[in-house]
Structure 1
Amino acid sequence: MPKRTSSQALAQLVELIALCPTGVGIDAIQQAVGTEMPRRTLQRRLALLVNAGRIVSRGAGRAVRYHPALQNDEGGLSLHQEPASTYAIVDAYIPTSPEGKEIKAWVRQPRQLRRPVGYKLTFLEQYQPNQSAYLPQTLRDQLHALGRSPAEKTPAGTFARDILNRLLIDLSWASSQLEGNTYSRLDTERLIEFGQAAEGKDALETQMILNHKEAIEYLVRDPDHATLTTDTIIALHAFLSDGLMADPTACGRIRNRAVEIGGSVYLPVALPQRLQELFGIVMQMAAEIHDPFEQAFFLMVHLPYLQPFEDVNKRVSRLAANIPFIRHNLCPLSFIDVPQPSYVDAMIGVYELNRIELLRDVFVWAYERSCQQYVAVQQNLIPPDIFRLRYRQALGEVVTAIVRHDEAASEAAIRARIPAAVTLADRDHFIALALEEFRTLHPGNAIRFGIRPLELAAWRAQSRRRE
């Protein structure tokens, strides 16, 4: 007669699998329970749990993975009747390289299977600015082509200021979502544009969004702030952590105590003096990097890895990564639509393995997605007509005089009224511009010249009689 499987042994397996919401393979489970449980016994127990509906198996053969059973609204188990969107939400993930998949498989193991690790200085020392490269040259060339903006040859920060209203909403929302914030994009837009906090949301979520807004404006409104210095990064932390730190004095200050990383076995540097020294080295190295994309990615890797602040380190790194893009008038990195699991796995890969491939996958996918979002914005950014700006007042005088004197909008009439401020070399261009203004003149835009609708209507009637 076969031995009865104890309910406690089965419950332990259920608890183990519950630690892995995205699934775990039998090999990892075997490592967790130990070799004292024969593999056939483990297989039999897993089959019992699947048949009882306490766990879910997906896949076949050696690829089978075991998942926690989902709870329905009544608290019971629901295995095969989830909404169609459930798997899309759970399994949302960016396209991943083979190296990225290796990292993903590692970090998805139960936490107790991953050996605790500390900060490794060699990871930083191995990088030589402008000699080492996390992003290959071919990839950087592709990103440069994607990120080019209409403001390419204008002063630093021009493009970011041109699209600031859109950037405030996109980056504040997307970066906050990666921290678990539940504000929708529409809620974020209402909060940023009208100051309307969303109903039913935690005050801390509202504060997080507003902190992002303040930090982004700090970088974009004054180009002198968009520099890679320790002062800039500390200022970003002060903005982003305002009202969110358990210890208010930790806001905008390098930490002076040890911290742990939730969900990871990584233990950052604890000694304050060493931390201060390494923070300076990281920022000096970042400032030396010439390529803006390599510079941005270096910050996304090494600021969170160092964990210079008690909290809010990843948020700081995401905004700091935009500094090179602001300075070079490149498309910003908004992190729009980046799935949280992809980003979290990628960061754990950096923390525990010192491997950047999965984070690189996230970075490239996120940048391409951001560029797609801003294509329409870029297309709508028509460069100002410098000639028209120079002669705006003269143009208004000519158009107004012709309308109010009931004259024909002809080349001769315009030439006769050209002000002396228009140089001889510019007069033909000025006449062409004035003729175009008359062609597009209507009651809605005539107000620019101080022409009332009735005046315009009378002039048009007189023009028809002349014809």
Structure 2
Amino acid sequence: MGNRDELQLIKEIIASSSDGLGIEQLLRLLPFQIEKRALQRRLKILREKNLILLKGEARSTKYYANVPEQTQDSGRIKSEEERQSTIPLSQEGKDVWALVSRPVAQRKPVGYERSFLENYRPNIDSLLSREEKQKLAEWGNTRNGEQPAGTYAREILNRLLIDLSWNSSRLEGNTYSLLDTELLIHNGKIPSNKSPMETQMILNHKEAIEFLIESSDEVGFNRYTFLNLHALLSNNLLPNPAASGRLRTFGVGITNSVFTPLGIPQLIEESFDLILEKASQIQNPFEQVFFVLVQLPYLQPFDDVNKRVSRLAANIPLNRHNLSPLSFIDVPEESYIKGMLGIYELNRIELFKDVFLWAYERSAMRYSAIRQSLGEPDRFRMKYRDEIREAIGQIVRNEMGKAEASNAVKIAAQKISDENQSKFIEIVETELLGLHEGNFVRYRIKPSEFSAWKKRWNSQ
């Protein structure tokens, strides 16, 4: 990774925290390895360019994003053109922005338009142009296309868990910072100033992302995936716990919108099944992504948490084809919401498409830089990933001690070719020694199973 890419990532991480970050915190959060002295040199460059600020002394020193001071006319109301400037918009996108930005009283109340879904013909009609698909393919190419589904996502899982959990929650108004999210996911530390609901939302995202990645061969555009995805994302967040993983049976409204979603349970179910059917027929993975991002929230098939389900489900085809994931890095909440309003109230996708294209390019650039810092994946581990996972899972679930585990690894090694057995044993034993609360999910181990095994393992 070049110095320029590193400087950009350092600046973005600092900007993600309004409370400032110390150098030790930065070392933990950065998605690439760097010595402390080298990081200090990068920080000095950013300060000299007036991109960051330093406050405090000695151990209390923190770095902050340099936000320009307000000018004399900053108190005036910004024009629509100025408010849209974060993401470059097409003329059509600007038109949609202006229409949905009018006062609610000036917007015409509308209901669910079934033809918006029913008239779409997979692989004949397309929400994305050919040029847009080509751009997306160039951005998303990871050169892992021939590897098993989910290979790329597993390589960057630790970073993806934090990025997607944080950004998807942030778009719902969650006030966790990036550092808060990292400490919760990797260390189980809950900030004292956050609500239980915000904490639950982050943890639900973590479990849902792990479900998608660890079950890459089973998940898809089917009821099993989407109902379970909703159950995981809505766990302990809905007034009626029984509503998790179930389709909506009553009418709902959309805050600050004149759109009223479909309210007849039978039609909700029919439309939900039709979304899955059409999505599964779409051949282009990026068209699949955009289709589900548009159609699922528009239908609102669940009591709540619909947009969250769509954001994670959008990664299913990307994961399957080993394309760069979409984690909504830096997407402004207002731009996302107005893009959705354009779909809800006007059945117009142009503004949301502008947001989507910008968001995917940002995500792809980030994970390309992260992937370069990781080096090439270990092909041996890739080839025997199922055997390694099975061996470790068996040892943990059966609460084996060290002697039992050693024998179990030797027995497991007999299932592969003779010349690879010694390396297999070495890798499994190394993984066992390095197993901790932040990485055991890779082996489809439950927290209770890990806890019981670890107690036995440490007692010897």
Cα distance in 2 between the residues matched to 1:316 and 1:83: 38
Report the AA paired with residue 312 of structure 1: V
Cα distance in 1 between the residues matched to 2:194 and 2:381: 49
1:324 aligned residue: 317
**CA deviation string 1:205-263 (max 9, x = no partner):** 11111110000000001213431112211111101101111111111100111000011
Q: 2:154 aligns with which of 161, 166, 170?
A: 161
Q: Please list every run of 5 or more consecutive structure 2 residues that lacks an aligned counterpart in the other structure.
A: 1-69, 384-417, 420-460
Report SS of the residue matched to 1:179: coil
Q: Does residue 111 of structure 1 match 2:111?
A: no
Report the AA paired with residue 338 of structure 1: V
1:241 aligned residue: 234
2:61 aligned residue: none
1:460 aligned residue: none
2:289 aligned residue: 296
1:54 aligned residue: none
Q: Give aligned-pair identity as a percent.
A: 52
2:206 aligned residue: 213
1:95 aligned residue: 88
Post-superposition offset of 1:382: 3.0
Q: Which has the higher contact order (CA 8 A, sep 6+)?
A: 2
Post-superposition offset of 1:290: 0.3
Contact 2:142 2:368 in 1 (8 A): no
Contact 1:150 1:378 in 2 (8 A): no
Post-superposition offset of 1:375: 1.6
Q: Does residue 366 of structure 1 match 2:359?
A: yes
Cα distance in 1 between the residues matched to 2:254 and 2:382: 55
1:125 aligned residue: 118
Q: 1:350 aligns with which of 332, 343, 348?
A: 343
Distance 1:384 1:351, change over 3 A: closer
Post-superposition offset of 1:383: 2.9
1:124-203 matches, within 5 Å, as 124-203=117-196
**CA deviation string 1:246-291 (max 9, x = no partner):** 1111111001110000111101110111111110011100000000
Contact 1:93 1:341 in 2 (8 A): no
Cα distance in 2 between the residues matched to 1:277 and 1:125: 11
2:426 aligned residue: none
Contact 2:111 2:260 in 1 (8 A): yes
Question: Which of the two has higher C-alpha Rg?
Answer: 1
Distance 1:158 1:258, change over 3 A: same
Report SS of the residue matched to 1:132: coil
Contact 1:236 1:316 in 2 (8 A): yes
Q: Does residue 268 of structure 1 match 2:233?
A: no
Distance 1:384 1:374, change over 3 A: closer
Report the AA paired with residue 344 of structure 2: Y
Contact 1:254 1:308 in 2 (8 A): yes
Cα distance in 2 between the residues matched to 1:89 and 1:106: 16
Cα distance in 1 between the residues matched to 2:117 and 2:215: 31
Contact 1:218 1:225 in 2 (8 A): no
Distance 1:97 1:81, change over 3 A: closer
Report the AA paired with residue 256 of structure 1: T
Distance 1:329 1:310, change over 3 A: same
Post-superposition offset of 1:132: 0.6
2:225 aligned residue: 232
Post-superposition offset of 1:315: 0.4
Cα distance in 1 between the residues matched to 2:109 and 2:294: 19
Post-superposition offset of 1:330: 0.2
Aligned residues: 315
Report the AA paired with residue 316 of structure 1: V
Distance 1:79 1:249, change over 3 A: farther
Contact 2:279 2:291 in 1 (8 A): yes
Report the AA paired with residue 352 of structure 1: E
Q: Please list every run of 5 or more consecutive structure 1 residues that lacks an aligned counterpart in the other structure.
A: 1-77, 391-420, 423-467
Post-superposition offset of 1:127: 1.1
Q: 2:330 aligns with which of 337, 356, 359?
A: 337
Report the AA paired with residue 154 of structure 1: Q
Post-superposition offset of 1:92: 6.5
2:434 aligned residue: none
Distance 1:389 1:297, change over 3 A: closer
TM-score after normalising by structure 2:
0.65
Report the AA paired with residue 311 of structure 1: D
Cα distance in 2 between the residues matched to 1:133 and 1:389: 36
